[in-house]
Amino acid sequence: MWSYLQTRWQSLVFRLLFYFLISMLALAVILAGSFAKRLKPHVQHEILPNVERYIEYLIDDIGDPPNLPIAQQLADQLPFEIRIEGRGVDWTSSPKLKAIAGYEFEPAPHPYDNVYLSHHRRDQYLLIQKQGYQYLFAVDNSFRRGSERRHWVLFLLLGSILLVLYLLIRRMFRPIEAMSTQVRKIGEGDLRQDILTEGKGELGMLAAGINRMSGQIKAMLESKSALLLAISHELRSPITRMRVNLELLEESEIQQKLIDDIREMETLIASILESEKLNTSHAPLMLSRCELLGLVEEVIEAHPGRNRIISRLSPVELEVDRLRMKLLIKNLIDNACHYSIEDQGEVEISLSHDQESVSIEVRDRGVGIKTEDISRVTEPFYRPDSSRQRNTGGYGLGLYLCKLIVEAHGGQIVIESEPGNGTKVIVKLPLDNS
């Protein structure tokens, strides 16, 4: 819950809602306190001035000795309940009134010296002693109900105003959510959608600017990909002719070196074409049910450095593109072998699974990768100077291709490394990658 709140706190809309809720609660507490003070009237200043003289008249109407039918008639007509005790009289107009001895009273201030006050919850009680009788009056709160109603109407009105204000500001800031989502997608490489905004204010102008930026980035990347593909396709034919011509020459050391260089160029071009093919959202995958253990063993068996590879494999079936999965495993093993230290050249590969995913881990004992370079080694043509010198072979496309293959299968690739302690590449593929 705490981590969820920390994440949501980054949202401007969430903070706006939070501030409004705090404001409404604070306002509710202040108003409730004020209303409570008003709804619990101060007896000395509110009840006594209004009813003390009136009650004296009522006692005179009841008579001495008290005429109980008249007392009942008055209780029925007026907002009072009455209890009379003394000189052989013990009468009440309502069974809810207890005996007078059951109440705690305090004397009223001057000039109401013959009046005693008590209250229970919202009921107020006045006790007057006169001519040997005690008269208890329970004051009905109905005379304050109009005021209470006005207070609650005011409270609801203020709450409604705050709610309308929040909805208006929420609507005004709605484009921020769309912009935040789109910027995050742009950072992830998704440039397919624009921000749909209403209005022509500053936020609308900002959204339009982000849309233009997204379109320009998309056009730039598409131009780059198109140029790269065009060059790669155009290079294939002359390279093929060069190789054929070299094969016809007399065998020599120079001829073999030239053939090796051409093979490297062919491999580079094939990698570029494959990476650009996978780098589209509709990359075609030839999926089939495959036993990964046999696939990994097949790659290891065909690898020239198989004697250096230690495998720990568990059988698991997964629906994958078989050819691309072989390329993934081969590239991971190639990288591990290339960058391992000669006298500590073992490469470990493990295959395991749980209820949700399949894990392929490849670990080498090489020179490792600096922390600041780990996030970039899956970029195309990137080689950290400390571990990926040109003389090790490769063009910086191996891990880039691996990343594209893994993401095309709905998985993720994680690289853990420390200079001097080797590198571990972890590939996680979902068991259900449909």
- DSSP string for residues in 250-267: PP-HHHHHHHHHHHHHHH
* Structure letter (DSSP) for residue 340: B
Given this model, what pLDDT does residue 391 score? 47
CA angle 298, 300, 302 (to 5 degrees): 70
Pair 329, 302: CB distance under 8 Å? no
Residue 346 CA to residue 306 CA, distance in Å, equals: 10
396 to each of 132, 383, 390, 392, 393, how far by Cα in Å?
Answer: 110, 6, 10, 11, 9
What is the structure's pLDDT at 131? Answer: 83
Cα distances (Å, whole numbers) of residue 178 to 125, 197, 206, 217: 62, 8, 11, 19
The whole-number pLDDT of residue 217 equals: 78
At residue 8, the pLDDT reads: 64
Question: So what's the pLDDT on residue 428?
Answer: 93
Q: Positive or negative CA dihedral for 293, 298, 303, 309?
A: positive
Q: For residue 63, count CB atoms less than 10 angstroms from its CB and return exposed for 0-12, middle for 13-18, buried for 19 or more.
A: exposed
Question: Which residues, in sequence order, are CB contacts of 399 under 8 Å at separation 6+?
Answer: 331, 335, 377, 378, 413, 415, 425
pLDDT, position 390: 44
Query: Which distant-in-sequence residues (6+ apart) come within 8 Å of 262 by Cβ?
Result: 239, 242, 243, 246
How far apart, in whole angstroms, are the C-alpha atoms of residue 28 and residue 159?
Answer: 9
Give the pair of three-digit tokens for residue 207: 């959204």
Question: What pLDDT was estimated at residue 95?
Answer: 85
- The continuous run of DSSP H or E covering 334 comes out as helix 322-338
Q: Tokens for 11, please give them.
A: 């949202």
CA distance 324 to 327: 5
Distance CA 133, CA 117 (A): 16
Question: Cis omega (within 30 of 0) on the bond before 111?
Answer: yes
Residue 413 is classified by DSSP as: E
**Which pLDDT does position 389 carry in this prediction?**
46
Task: Give 10-residue mean pLDDT values along the chain (434 residues).
Answer: 68 69 73 56 57 78 87 84 88 87 83 79 80 83 55 74 76 74 73 67 73 79 68 72 80 82 75 65 72 90 86 90 86 85 76 90 87 82 56 64 86 89 91 65
- What CA–CA distance (Å, rounded) separates 183 from 180? 5
The pLDDT score that the predictor gives to residue 351 is 92
> How is residue 85 written in tokens?
């005790």
